[in-house]
């Protein structure tokens, strides 16, 4: 259930912009959680903005040291090392993250599954694949995947993976959660505007200097020089899951790098799914799930979340939007 960095473009963002009331806008790019983060803060002066960017970085690093599945000693690493052996006591924060992920698994019937981390990497999207993996290899690749084998105990705050070799990972929601937390921290410290962009899992609040909203362009997956739409955001989040750079084709069928955790086969039918709403964590879970579910089932899922909007682009260029999306879109991109 891997997810590429979405193409979300911040329109007309400058690194430092002064206005009459002495506000400045500053942006810094850093590598955290194995991905690029772009942190933008509007503050009274440059040093204040830099100090608050440092605070966001520290918060994201703290989260990484809780939920990384590749760093030794994190709570998630301990859960994975004790799969099939014993339950692991975790912090309330990690317990609630796992609990929310399992809820997503239930409402999507497993199209979303944090135990995808145990999936064998038999699909390659670097141009080296010359033929389809065998049906047996595909079936075996997901043998250790299955959210129903994750056991939570709220009384002891423990997580137990029932099968040896099982693993969980927050590749589909962790960066969105970090973006949400960075925004919440800044709001609690009185910072009135900014963006935490976690490789495309983007949380905004307030507005930039000299503008009424943050302008975010959604890249056309068939032509990166143009946009599917330009969003005007205040306190919102937006994520895009897409397959237009990492895919393979066999017998005229396009197979995306986002893998269905139930079947082991790559998702087909959609080239991108963008979700807009209050939480980047939730939007990320929805966009990833929709890529696996496809347009019909994906739209049925979206109907359960009226605070969230979506824009889907199919492999053949059709553009589909949820009923509550009021912006202008082309009906077809190619």
Q: What is the pLDDT of residues 260-312, one digit of tens each?
A: 999 999 988 899 999 999 999 999 999 999 999 999 999 999 999 999 999 99
Please provide residue 275's backbone torsions phi and psi, each rounded to the nearest 5 degrees.
Answer: -125, 135
What pairing do the DSSP bridges indicate for beta strands 158-161 and 88-89? antiparallel
Q: What is the pLDDT of residues 10-68, one digit of tens each?
A: 554 443 443 445 589 999 999 999 999 999 999 999 999 999 999 999 999 999 999 99
Please provide residue 47's backbone torsions phi and psi, each rounded to the nearest 5 degrees.
Answer: -60, -40
Distance, CA of 6 to CA of 214 (rounded, Å):
17
Range in 61-75, 83-97, 167-181, 240-254 with the lowest mean pLDDT = 240-254
Q: Global pTM?
A: 0.90
Average pLDDT, the chain: 90
What pairing do the DSSP bridges indicate for beta strands 319-321 and 309-314? antiparallel
pLDDT exceeds 80 at position 179: yes
- How would you class 223 by CB atoms within 10 Å of its CB: exposed for 0-12, middle for 13-18, buried for 19 or more? exposed
Helices (H) and strands (E) in the chain, counts: 7, 16
pLDDT exceeds 70 at position 8: no
Bridge partners (DSSP) listed for residue 195: 40, 204
Distance, CA of 272 to CA of 15 (rounded, Å):
29
For 93-146, the DSSP string reads HHHHHHHHHHHHHHHTTTSS-GGGGG-------SS---SPPPHHHHHHHTTT--
| Both structure tokens of 11 | 């329109």
Are the C-beta atoms of 138 and 173 separated by less than 8 Å? Answer: no
**Ordered domains of the chain (ranges, CATH):** 1-334 (3.10.520.10)
> Angle 60-65-66 (CA atoms, 0-180°, nearest 5)?
100
3-state secondary structure of 68: coil
Q: Find all residues with CB under 8 Å of 25, minimum gap 6, and list them.
A: 13, 14, 16, 17, 40, 41, 42, 49, 208, 209
């Amino acid at each position: 259930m891997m997810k590429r960095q979405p193409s979300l473009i911040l329109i007309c963002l400058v690194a430092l912009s002064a206005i009459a009331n002495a506000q400045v806008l500053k942006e810094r790019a850093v590598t955290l959680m194995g991905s690029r983060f772009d942190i933008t803060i509007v503050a009274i002066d440059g040093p204040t903005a830099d100090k608050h960017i440092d605070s966001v970085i520290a918060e994201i690093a703290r989260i990484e040291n809780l939920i990384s599945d590749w760093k030794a000693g994190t709570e998630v690493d301990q859960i994975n090392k004790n799969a099939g052996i014993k339950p692991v006591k975790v912090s309330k924060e990690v317990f609630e993250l796992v609990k929310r992920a399992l809820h997503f698994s239930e409402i999507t019937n497993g199209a979303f599954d944090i135990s995808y981390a145990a999936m064998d990497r038999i699909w390659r999207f670097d141009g080296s694949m010359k033929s389809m993996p065998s049906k047996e290899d595909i079936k075996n690749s997901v043998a250790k995947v299955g959210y129903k084998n994750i056991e939570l105990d709220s009384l002891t705050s423990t997580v137990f993976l029932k099968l040896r070799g099982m693993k969980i990972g927050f590749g589909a929601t962790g960066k969105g959660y970090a973006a949400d937390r960075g925004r919440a921290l800044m709001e609690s410290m009185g910072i009135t505007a900014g963006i935490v962009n976690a490789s495309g899992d983007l949380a905004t609040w307030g507005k930039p200097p000299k503008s009424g909203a943050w302008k975010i362009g959604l890249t056309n997956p068939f032509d990166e020089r143009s946009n599917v739409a330009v969003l005007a955001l205040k306190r919102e989040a937006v994520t895009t899951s897409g397959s237009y750079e990492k895919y393979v084709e066999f017998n005229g069928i396009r197979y995306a790098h986002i893998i269905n955790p139930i079947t082991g086969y790559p998702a087909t039918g959609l080239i991108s799914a963008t979700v807009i709403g209050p939480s980047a964590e939730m939007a990320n879970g929805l966009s990833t799930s929709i890529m696996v579910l496809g347009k019909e089932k994906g739209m049925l899922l979206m109907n359960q979340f009226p605070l969230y909007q979506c824009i889907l682009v199919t492999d053949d260029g059709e553009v589909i939007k949820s009923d509550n999306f009021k912006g202008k879109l082309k009906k077809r991109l190619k």
